[in-house]
Amino acid sequence: MSIIRLLSESRGIKVHAIRAVFIEGKNIFTNSAIFNRAHIQISILDTYLIQESYLVEEKQE
């Protein structure tokens, strides 16, 4: 069980999913707030949130 889930449930809050932003890399432009390696990660803790899933295949050239 994740630390986020333990802390929130101890306070009576049910967490179904967690989303976090990771800012990495360098600014894409001078003084830009957008970074070339920034990304978002999502963790689904309760699978009932997933309504549909499918595999995305890469094009073979």
Instruction: Render pLDDT for 25-39 as a digit per residue (tens, 0 to 9).
Output: 999 999 999 999 999
Whole-angstrom distance, CA of residue 41 vs CA of residue 23: 11
Q: What is the pLDDT at residue 18?
A: 87
What the block records as the tokens of 21 is: 């932003």
Q: What is the pLDDT at residue 49?
A: 92
In the chain, beta strands by DSSP E: 17-22, 39-44
Q: What is the pLDDT at residue 32?
A: 92
Q: What is the pLDDT at residue 1?
A: 61
Whole-angstrom distance, CA of residue 23 vs CA of residue 40: 9
Q: Which of 18, 20, 27, 13 is nearest to 45 (CA)?
A: 18
Q: What is the pLDDT of residues 1-60, one digit of tens each?
A: 678 778 888 888 888 888 999 999 999 999 999 999 999 999 888 899 999 999 989 888
